[in-house]
Amino acid sequence: MTTMHANLLNQFLDYAHRADPYPILARMREHPVDVQDDGRYLVSTYAEIRACLQDPRFSSDLRKGYSKTDQRIDEEEAPPSFIRLDPPKHDWLRHQVMTHFSPELIHGLRPRIEEVAGALLDAHKQQAQLDIVDDFAYPLPVTIICEVLGVPGEDVALFHTWADQLILGADPSKSTNQEIVQQAKSARVQLRHYMGKLIDRVQQAPGPGLLSAMLHPATQEKQMTKEDLVGIAVLLLIAGHVTTVNLIANSMLTLLRSPEHFARLRREPSIVAKLVEEVLRYEPPVQLVRRTTLTEVPLAGVTIPKGAPVYLMLAAGNRDPLRFDDPERFDPERPAIEHLGFAQGIHYCVGAPLARLETQIALTALARRLQDPRLVEDPPPYRESPTLRGPRHLLVTLHHR
């Protein structure tokens, strides 16, 4: 039976496999749906993951599951943000955000993103070495999401530690580490407190930014509660940069490993959109998403019981040979790839257009400005998180002309 298999999820979560989780993900795919010896279910093939993402019997509200130890503690003291809610509340809150976080708004950010990207590279142009993560890929999306929300620039540094603590606390392999869990809890409390105060200020004096627009909507529909708005602000702030940093860094790592693609990007900047899509398939910054079953669900010959913790392994589905030809090959010329990098279904990433734009601009600027960059260390040191996976540092040496 399925329980005979090694606990592949624990192996995947183990930091030792962070730099190259793909052999483990390939083993997971041998059983499209599989149960681990601790009762967690894995779904690892493209068709089955997609089916789960579109099936309302798979809930994003983990409080509805039976596995208490598997729940994120940080979700206990405050109502979850809409990424962790089901319809109808999810749909209503998501709609409120989408109304303001519009394609026009994103499109209009292009000049500012280009300006910030250029300024970051200018600031380091005399150096012989650049850390693509700390010097560029992290500050770029943080600066932009703070400006979009209307968070004062001088507060940006505050979020760095809170975001790191939150991510570590959400790591499924750390759920029994009390110190990490407590730190994440306290980071969330502080972030909510900060956003609450900011929202009070914006309530008094409307200003630029999304929060102000949401507080003072042009058409007065049903008003959002302050608690809902705090949840949205925290979600957008965190989701708005801890993922994009990894997309930029994973992209650069991939390009540095196959310099022919980097050279092509310099010659032919219009290839950038295809490159980014292929990185979202090949090295997705969000490797898995979690669900719980609202009822018993038979899938691919396995009956998942009600209330089970379910891990949808997006990164495994993205390399499923039944869906993609020669999936272990990085190939930006794949037609209409429909990767799972931003998930699918009702929780499809709200920030996908922004993340795409930021990463496309970032890669174009790096290709234009960096002369013959060379990786200092391969593999680079990785972040702890198995879920939000990417290099912690990405050092390159530069040659100035």
Which chain residues interact with ligand HEM by CB under 6 A?
A: 60, 82-83, 94, 145, 235-236, 239-240, 243-244, 247, 285-286, 289, 341-343, 347, 349-351, 354-355
Q: Residue 35 or residue 354: which is nearer to ligand HEM going by CB?
A: 354
Map residue 131 onto helix, strand or coil: strand
Q: How far is the CB of 128 from ligand HEM (least distance, A)?
A: 29
Report the residue number, 287 or 398, with the smaller CB distance to ligand HEM: 287
Closest CA to 166 of 182, 148, 145, 144: 182
CB nearer to ligand HEM: give 256 or 289. 289
Span between the terminal Cα atoms of the chain, in Å: 62
Q: How large is the C-alpha radius of gyration of the chain?
A: 21
Alpha-carbon 150 to chain mean position: 21
Which helix H or strand E contains 231, and what residues bound it?
Answer: helix 226-239
Shortest distance (Å) from residue 251 CB to ligand HEM: 10
**Cβ at position 271, least distance to ligand HEM in Å:** 18
Q: C-alpha distances in angstroms, 336 versus 51, 182, 274, 278, 324?
A: 19, 43, 10, 10, 11
Question: Which residue's CB is nearer to ligand HEM, number 163 or number 343?
Answer: 343
Across the strands, what pairs with 310?
Answer: 41, 291
Min CB(69)–ligand HEM separation in Å = 20
Q: CA 119, CA 105: separation in Å to the nearest integer? A: 22
CB of 281 to ligand HEM, least distance (A): 11
Choice between 317 and 380, CB closer to ligand HEM? 317
Minimum distance from CB of 389 to ligand HEM (Å)? 10
Name the residue type at position 290: R
Nearer to ligand HEM, 105 or 300 (CB): 105
Residue 28 or 52 having the CB closest to ligand HEM: 52
Which residue lies nearer to ligand HEM by CB, 145 or 170? 145
Least distance from ligand HEM to the Cβ atom of residue 400, Å: 30
Minimum separation from the CB atom of position 125 to ligand HEM (A) = 26
Which residue lies nearest ligand HEM, judged by its C-beta?
A: 351
Nearer to ligand HEM, 332 or 341 (CB): 341
Smallest distance, ligand HEM to C-beta of residue 399, A: 29
State how far the Cα of 389 lies from the Cα of 230, in Å rounded to an integer: 26
One DSSP character per residue, 81-103 reads: PGGG--TTHHHHHHHHHHHHS-H
Give DSSP secondary structure letters for 369-397: H-SS-EESSSSPPBPS-SSB--BS--EEE
In angstroms, what is the minimal distance from the CB of 350 to ligand HEM? 4
User: In terms of CB distance, is 60 or 293 closer to ligand HEM?
Assistant: 60
Whether the CB-CB separation of 347 and 97 falls below 8 Å is answered with: no
Alpha-carbon gap, residue 19 to 1, rounded angstroms: 30
Could you list the beta-strand ranges (E) of 169-231. none
Q: Catalogue the long-range contacts made by 81-88 (C-beta closer than 8 Å, 24 or more residues apart).
A: 81/231, 81/232, 81/234, 81/235, 82/231, 82/232, 82/235, 83/235, 83/239, 83/347, 84/60, 85/60, 85/61, 86/56, 86/59, 86/60, 86/61, 87/56, 87/346
